[in-house]
Structure 1
Amino acid sequence: MKKGLSVLAVTLLFVFLLSGCFSNNRNENSQQNVSDGNSGGGTESTEITFLVLDAWAEQAKKVIEAFEAENPDIKVKVEVQPFSQIFEAIEVQMKSGKTSFDVFPVDSPLTTNYAIKGFLAPLDPYFDDSMKTLWLDTALQAGTYNGQLMSAPMNTSSQVLFYNKDLFEQRGVTPPPSDDPSHRWTWEQLVEAAKQLTYDTNDDGTPDIYGFSFDQIDRPYQLLPLGQSLGAEQVISDDGLVSKGYTNSESMVQGSIFYYDLFNTWKVSPKIPQELSRDYFKTGKVAMFLGTTATMHIFKDKINLGVSYHPYFEGKKVVTPTGSWHLGISAYSNKKEAAGKFIQFFSVGKGAEIWLKEYGQIPALKSLLKTLNEQVEPGSIESQVFKIASYEVENTAVLRPRTPGYLEWESILRSAFEDIKNGADPKTALDNAVEIIDKQLVKYKSAVKP
């Protein structure tokens, strides 16, 4: 039990710091009436600032160039932040009541949190109902709060099971099928294969090759489908304010026991930090790797790469994770009309096509999803990955929970998974986590409409 509390205790410092971000500023933000500056309709040029992640700054510039060509009276300035600092930068600037940016990236499960805090301006003036139907339902749901569109999708995401063909051949293991989703492996089949693929090459008593690894080893985005496949219909209450009985439901506990067993009972997964998971697969230390489609480009030239569908528990439901970055307008921007025009171009206009070509992520636009395989060579690994991911986002994808306290919920639950990986009792770890989570969610009660 002490082991189960170790990482959770460290996490509390971060969680308590977050508490200061939800205050009376929410009411001040939501009541502020800031008039637009130049809307882009006159001869005078309007400059908006777009906060972007460093990981896709270059690709975003291609979209910006096309937008400026079609809208010569609007200029887009780029402000770059690394992933490790982007959330803090948004929180600090918004709390100050003044932002250096007009358009900023919104991790989709944070839409509710940002909307309640008054960080986001509604996007309904720039997206009519016909435009909203162009997106996947999950993408629209992720960007909507209390019936208003608050963030618009840049793209979406899915996960596939990658595997090292050479390691399978060396061990004489038949690889998972990729021809038909109804033939996908169960988790039980994956474990049996992983046991055969986990072995010690130098007789020192420690495996040098492991059978399986998650990409995001301790993140709820990656791990929620375990409990959901076993029957967890909800992982938080409808109002997003209660985790007890949901995040630690029997199905979630059973999913966490399976997660525990991968590392501690069967020992087919390495106890490594998330930062090393991709390197382990890329260098042949892991035979199977469950990760996002984005990781394909890291591996395809390094190993003999195969791909299959996301596993599920035998006789249970197939569930896959989804959701990605959205775009929002700062509530403090005085150039909302120009910002709205840019987001519309990026999310449902020509910019969406450019973004797909440049960044290569799974599109949220249904029309682009249907033509996804036309972007790549037939029979290539890209074609196989896109075929699988396209099926998953339309048929098996489930969003992360919608709660104003998503940051707190995720951080605390992530610590619980870390402890479970390292040997803590799964039920104890989840029970401890929900007690802490619910104490943090109380502060949002007055802001959530019944």
Structure 2
Amino acid sequence: MKSVVLGGLAAMLLCGSALAQTTTLTVATVNNNDMVVMQRLSKQFEEQNPDIKLNWVVLEENTLRQRLTTDISTNGGQYDIMTIGMFEAPMWGERGWLVPFENVPAEYELDDVLQSVRDGLSFDGKLFALPFYAESQMTFYRKDLLEAKGVTMPERPTWKDIGDVGAKIHDPSNGVYGVCLRGKPGWGENVGQITPAANSYGARWFDEQWKAQLDTPQWKEALAMYVDLLNKYGPPGASSNGYNENLALFASGKCGIWVDATVSAGFLADPDQSTVIDKVGYAYPPYGKFDKGNHYLWAWSLAVPVSSKSPEAANKFIYWATSKDYIDLVAEETGWATVPPGTRRSTYANAEYIEAAPFAKITMDTIQSADVNGPTQEPVPYRGIGFVGIPEFQSIGTAVGQEFGAVIAGQKSVDDALKASQAIAQRAVDEAGYPKK
């Protein structure tokens, strides 16, 4: 009897030891489709690594940014893995808030990751995040609707072309809206889309002396154009529609033209989630007067804050989720057209992907041609195309996004919103002491 008790006690101790050795990683990510897929497929990672458990915190984009910024700036330690982008990675890395990716395993094949993407996630030669997917912008349109009206979409459309074609196919009585664009306030929502459009009209946020430039004719022309498109040919409630809302509208057949992130192409090619597969045409992102800065570069990426108590386990998951093998896993699950795009050369050298993804060339061209260090016609003291790469821009962009949203909602005039935005931007950089000595 004594041996049985001792045997049971030993088993309990072994079990307790195993439980004690289990590492739980808290992963904060955005509620975009590719991340939802990552969460689902991560069960395979847990099966391969039974000593690691994943706790997922999936948030809407604006909320995610607020929570991550608060947590990392206060060394809160809530998250082991953060989903961030080219705005945060270099700045947070510079401040010592992120663990750099050094001594990356050879089997990861870091050189396979596009150089422009790595550069955007680095500071002073150190890489602070690994890209889950990278994106620029493109124009999506319904080939069937255009054909029915006898119109064509230019390969490289102007914003005037978008309006002209949108007017022809706008059919609200049948639930089809000519043009869908982001109106939802947020520096990564409406501001992130309106800024490249403004760049293409010759606008910029600041001049070389850090004087705000939002009350200029270039900004007025760009914002008026953008608002006019939504007022005339957009869906109801456009001021509340961000990326996910417009993706759902286009995928359900309610948008004729949509200008947004290249990553959307894979979702729209998935028959389980899109009703418009085989009906989608692809064109380059539109421009106003110049094609300089008319399309951004972004990479939703995974990073480890220095406050993580399990950085080695966090790295292990990040290497898995951003690997070539993960891309192959998604291809097996949902098809090559749906794999996370824009990160690896090998994806774009894969004949199966090229055959399945007619949007691949535009995606690669726009990612490689986006110049984050020279984003505007006139010189500027900042990096970034859809954003200004300074810490203060998160609050500036959020406040300006509210102004832009008010114009789209019909609550303010373009002039009044830009006047307020000018004051917001100038006050922020003055208080922060720009230009820095």
In the superposition, the TM-score normalised over structure 2's length comes to: 0.72
* Residue aligning to 2:233: 268
Matched, 1:387 2:361: yes
Aligned-partner residue type, residue 394 of structure 2: L
Note if contact 2:183-2:405 (Cα within 8 Å) is conserved in structure 1. Answer: no
Note if contact 2:93-2:122 (Cα within 8 Å) is conserved in structure 1. Answer: no
Matched position secondary structure for 2:420: helix
Matched position secondary structure for 2:166: helix
CA distance in 2, matches of 1:344, 1:167: 43
Q: How does 1:291-440 map to 2 (within 5 A)?
A: 291-296=260-265, 297-298=267-268, 301-303=274-276, 305-313=279-287, 316-317=290-291, 319-347=294-322, 350-351=325-326, 353-354=328-329, 360-371=339-350, 374-375=352-353, 378=355, 383-396=357-370, 398=372, 399-400=385-386, 401-423=388-410, 424-440=412-428
CA distance in 1, matches of 2:285, 2:102: 38
CA distance in 2, matches of 1:345, 1:228: 37
Per-residue displacement from partner, 1:211-235 (whole Å, max 9, x unpaired)? 2121566522222221222234x53
Note if contact 1:107-1:325 (Cα within 8 Å) is conserved in structure 2. Answer: yes
* Residue aligning to 1:139: 117
| TM-aligned CA distance change 1:352 to 1:298, over 3 Å | closer
Per-residue displacement from partner, 1:376-408 (whole Å, max 9, x unpaired)? 7x3xxx522223222221234654331112321
Q: Identify which of 224, 235, 246 aligns with 2:205.
A: 235
Matched position secondary structure for 1:174: coil
Identical columns (%): 17
| TM-aligned CA distance change 1:327 to 1:357, over 3 Å | farther
Aligned-partner residue type, residue 44 of structure 2: E
CA distance in 2, matches of 1:150, 1:308: 33
Per-residue displacement from partner, 1:256-291 (whole Å, max 9, x unpaired)? 122133245xx2234522055345434544321223
Aligned-partner residue type, residue 405 of structure 1: E
CA distance in 1, matches of 2:348, 2:329: 14
CA distance in 1, matches of 2:428, 2:289: 36
* Residue aligning to 1:149: 127
Q: How does 1:177-256 map to 2 (within 5 A)?
A: 183-199=155-171, 201=173, 209-215=176-182, 219-232=190-203, 234-236=204-206, 242=210, 244-245=212-213, 247-256=214-223
| TM-aligned CA distance change 1:185 to 1:445, over 3 Å | same
| TM-aligned CA distance change 1:188 to 1:134, over 3 Å | same
* Residue aligning to 1:13: none
* Residue aligning to 2:17: none
Q: Identify which of 52, 59, 65 aligns with 2:44.
A: 65
Matched position secondary structure for 1:211: strand
| TM-aligned CA distance change 1:329 to 1:407, over 3 Å | same
Aligned-partner residue type, residue 269 of structure 1: G
Note if contact 1:404-1:444 (Cα within 8 Å) is conserved in structure 2. Answer: no
CA distance in 2, matches of 1:123, 1:237: 34
Aligned-partner residue type, residue 191 of structure 2: P
CA distance in 2, matches of 1:356, 1:119: 34
Size of the aligned set, in residue pairs, is 381
CA distance in 2, matches of 1:143, 1:349: 19
Aligned-partner residue type, residue 139 of structure 2: L
CA distance in 2, matches of 1:90, 1:126: 25
Matched position secondary structure for 2:233: coil
Deviation at 1:73, TM superposition (A): 8.8
CA distance in 1, matches of 2:416, 2:55: 46
| TM-aligned CA distance change 1:407 to 1:355, over 3 Å | farther
| TM-aligned CA distance change 1:47 to 1:442, over 3 Å | farther
| TM-aligned CA distance change 1:64 to 1:421, over 3 Å | same
Q: Which runs of 5+ in 1 are unaligned?
A: 1-43, 178-182, 203-207
Question: Aligned-pair RMSD on alpha carbons?
Answer: 3.8
Deviation at 1:361, TM superposition (A): 2.6
Q: How does 1:39-188 map to 2 (within 5 A)?
A: 47=23, 49-53=25-29, 55=32, 56-60=35-39, 62=41, 65-66=44-45, 69=48, 75-83=52-60, 85-94=63-72, 97-112=75-90, 114-115=92-93, 118-124=96-102, 126=104, 133-170=111-148, 172-176=149-153, 183-188=155-160
Matched position secondary structure for 2:167: helix
Deviation at 1:109, TM superposition (A): 1.6
Note if contact 1:49-1:100 (Cα within 8 Å) is conserved in structure 2. Answer: no
* Residue aligning to 1:6: none
Q: More relative contact order in 1 or in 2 (CA 8 Å, sep 6+)? A: 1
Per-residue displacement from partner, 1:345-366 (whole Å, max 9, x unpaired)? 4445644554676662313223
Matched position secondary structure for 1:153: strand
| TM-aligned CA distance change 1:280 to 1:96, over 3 Å | closer
In the superposition, the TM-score normalised over structure 1's length comes to: 0.70
Deviation at 1:252, TM superposition (A): 3.1
